[in-house]
Chains A and B, each alone.
Chain A
Amino acid sequence: MSGIDVDLAVNGLITGLFYALMAIGLSLIFGILKIVNFAHGEFYMVGAYAYTLIALALGVPVWVALPLAFVVGAALGWLTERTLMRPLYAGYTSWGLMRDEYAVIVTFGLSLFLINLVDKVIGPYAYRGPPLVETSRIVLGPVLISGHRLLAAGIAIAVIAITAALIKWSFWGQQIRAVSQNRLGASLAGIDTAKASAIVFMLSGGLAAFAGALLSPVINASPDVGVFPAIKSYIIVVLGGMGSVPGAIIASLALGVIESFGAVYLSYQYRDAFGLILLMLFLLFRPQGLFGEKGREV
């Protein structure tokens, strides 16, 4: 492994960490409601704007703006769940047939709405978020990395670890997993499934917004900035097994590395296509993903 390979691997893993922040939330939503949230990228976009505007326009220190971006994303997630997701499980048994279609339409519509609303209200111009630290490139052996990116990666690791621990061991985390496994069973055991869904959406929106905030100095917030990260997270949840959090984390890191090497050794122009091809192959031949359990709904 030459120096450039080490550099590619490390930078790919770091990219994967940011993917994981997005994908965990998407995977949790799939777990609990069995839907894909097509507006997930817009939580990311809103986070990037929230951080940038709070820090620049209000002059709030970046260390305060960062958690605030999480709060904004969580609020948006909660609102989405309350207004649009409730019909998926509260009553409405009469149209169970078109349930999946309803979910695709409203989340797709919400995505278009948020992109265009931001485009009109804030404008189509890109905003560069303030970096957490003003250091130029740091050289660690063969690896070249900016100070902000290194710090952001560290924060991402911490947030991912905390989230994974909460889902694994906390009271609400256990309830969320119970609802994901069997909604009816969980509700019979006294779990408030509506509350569990709301918490998942808040966590999911918050994490995606946090990812957007962390990356805003690099990605330059613009209305459609969430589109590609969202597609990456779809790829990841499929690879990792829809609904599996450990699967999402591992698949995120894997995709980051694959893209990093693919862009250099295969084709830079088609770097975004590799993951999509993987996604299609997986859905066609192994829909349960790498770590998902095999099962079929009738």
Chain B
Amino acid sequence: MTTQSPPPSRASAQLSNTKTTVEFRVALAAMAIVALLPLGVGNAYWLGVLIVSMYFAILAGGWNLLAGYAGQFSLAPATFAMIGAYTTGLLNHYYGVPPLLGIVAAIVVSGLVGLLLGRAVLRLAGPYLALTTLSFAEIMRLVAANSIDITRGDLGLGVAGLLDSRVGWYYLFLGALTVLLVLFYLLLRSKAGLFLQAIRDDEVAARRAGVDVVFWKTAAFALSAAASGFAGALYAHFAELVTPELGLIAQTGLILSMVVIGGMGTLAGPIIAAFLVYVLSEWLRDVGGYQLVVFAALVVIFARFFREGLWGLAMAAVRRWRQA
């Protein structure tokens, strides 16, 4: 019962920066490995699996910024991916807007919706915040699924593709993920990162210390939503189809499990875990389809016993190895 250490909080600026830098380097190394994978993986199916892993890695990274760093436990990350996907999807389907422009519009629209949601839920925390964002997610999904005249409902909306080659898509997603990783790193290394973590650790104290809590909480919502919307828009053109299923609560569950298993509030953990979880789940699907049972159990076990996730376990192992 007492094996757990408290979450990494109130770290000094120096310490926090070194920690984030180590995480950033490990994440970059992981991206480098991912960049080399197509040399060995010629199979289009597994390339597709890795592309979807990167889609989830962006979502997990974006949600981790909001939930792990800023402590705002929203249950709507998948919804913003859906909003992003429908933004570019509808623009493309009805007005023939080219995908690249549509993707930019998706980032803006989902970021704005995130901003509004963040603004609306400013005073809410804990279970109240979780419930409000969950209802927001369900309302959005119901609207998308039932506005059949516009979105074609569950049938899905066909949208234009962007690239012909799968390897091209692979590197596009990888580029997007890497750009976001760098952006998050720069953000977290700056004062903003400290402000967000201060709000997470003690909102009242942060306000007393002069942190503009309203601004930074709203900003965290908007940034996280924009990242999700970006991922959703890319995915829309990759799959050439947009459906309300992108916003299912189960999708949010998958994102949440990646972040929890990887280690909430660490830069590298959730992104690496997104690959592990998704690739492993595809493999488990072949072996008997127990993937969701396994991951749900892992989420509960990690939350209960290993609160710092795989990243925390790895760091503890490194420390022990150095001492020995």
Q: Are B124 and A101 in contact (CB under 8 A)?
A: no
Q: Which of B5, B121, B132 contacts A279 (CB 8 A)?
A: B132
**In the assembled complex, which residues on chain B have CB atoms less than 8 Å from the CB atom of A277?**
135, 139
Main secondary structure of the interface of A (DSSP, over half): helix
**Is the CB of B104 closer than 8 A to any CB of chain A?**
no
Q: Which of B126, B143, B264, B293 contacts A117 (CB 8 A)?
A: B293
Chain B residues 106 to 141 lying within 8 A of chain A, measured CB to CB, are 120-121, 124-128, 130-132, 134-136, 138-139
Which has the most chain B C-beta neighbours within 10 Å: A36, A97, A108, A277?
A108
Q: Which of B73, B142, B253, B304 contacts A106 (CB 8 A)?
A: B304
Q: Are B204 and A298 in contact (CB under 8 A)?
A: yes
**Is the CB of B292 closer than 8 A to any CB of chain A?**
yes
A33 to chain B: closest CB distance in Å? 10
Chain B residues 225 to 253 lying within 8 A of chain A, measured CB to CB, are 249-250, 253
**In the assembled complex, which residues on chain A have CB atoms less than 8 Å from the CB atom of B143?**
273
**In the assembled complex, which residues on chain A have CB atoms less than 8 Å from the CB atom of B88?**
none
Distance, CA A103 to CA B125, complexed state (A): 13
Q: Which of A92, A100, A116 contacts B293 (CB 8 A)?
A: A116
**In the assembled complex, which residues on chain B have CB atoms less than 8 Å from the CB atom of A165?**
none
Q: Are A104 and B293 in contact (CB under 8 A)?
A: no
Surface stretch bound by A, among B40-48, B181-189, B295-303: B295-303
**Is the CB of A89 closer than 8 A to any CB of chain B?**
no
What residue in chain B is nearest A101 (Cβ atoms)? B73
**In the assembled complex, which residues on chain B have CB atoms less than 8 Å from the CB atom of A287?**
124, 128
**In the assembled complex, which residues on chain A have CB atoms less than 8 Å from the CB atom of B282?**
none
What residue in chain B is nearest A117 (Cβ atoms)? B293
**In the assembled complex, which residues on chain B have CB atoms less than 8 Å from the CB atom of A94?**
4-6
**Is the CB of B307 closer than 8 A to any CB of chain A?**
yes
Q: Are B142 and A272 in contact (CB under 8 A)?
A: yes
Distance, CA A36 to CA B71, complexed state (A): 17
**Is the CB of B67 closer than 8 A to any CB of chain A?**
yes
A276-B1 CB under 8 A given contacts A87-B304, A120-B293: no
Q: Are A95 and B307 in contact (CB under 8 A)?
A: yes
A106-B303 CB under 8 A given contacts A94-B6, A95-B4, A284-B120: yes
**Is the CB of B256 closer than 8 A to any CB of chain A?**
yes
**Is the CB of A145 closer than 8 A to any CB of chain B?**
no
Total interface residues on A, CB under 8 Å, equals 50
Q: Mark A101-141, 1 if CB is under 8 A from B, else 0.
A: 11111101110110011011000000000000000000000
**In the assembled complex, which residues on chain B have CB atoms less than 8 Å from the CB atom of A113?**
293, 296-297, 299-300
Q: Which of A102, A104, A112, A276 contacts B250 (CB 8 A)?
A: A112
A49 to chain B: closest CB distance in Å? 16
Q: Mark B1-32, 1 if CB is under 8 A from A, else 0.
A: 11011110100000000000000000000000
What residue in chain A is nearest B1 (Cβ atoms)? A91
Known pairs A30-B127, A106-B303, A112-B253; list 11 more (Cβ under 8 Å): A34-B126, A36-B131, A97-B200, A100-B126, A102-B307, A112-B296, A113-B297, A227-B249, A273-B139, A276-B139, A283-B131
Q: What are 18 of the A-B contact pairs (CB < 8 Å)? A: A90-B1, A94-B5, A99-B126, A100-B130, A104-B75, A105-B256, A105-B299, A105-B300, A106-B303, A112-B257, A112-B295, A113-B300, A119-B292, A276-B139, A279-B132, A283-B131, A284-B124, A284-B132
Interface residues of B (CB under 8 A from A): 1-2, 4-7, 9, 67, 71, 73, 75, 120-121, 124-128, 130-132, 134-136, 138-139, 142-143, 146, 200-202, 204, 249-250, 253, 256-257, 260, 264, 289-290, 292-293, 295-297, 299-300, 303-304, 307
Interface residues of A (CB under 8 A from B): 30, 34-36, 38, 83-84, 87, 90-92, 94-95, 97-106, 108-110, 112-113, 116-117, 119-120, 227, 231, 234-235, 238, 242, 269-270, 272-273, 276-277, 279-280, 283-284, 287, 298
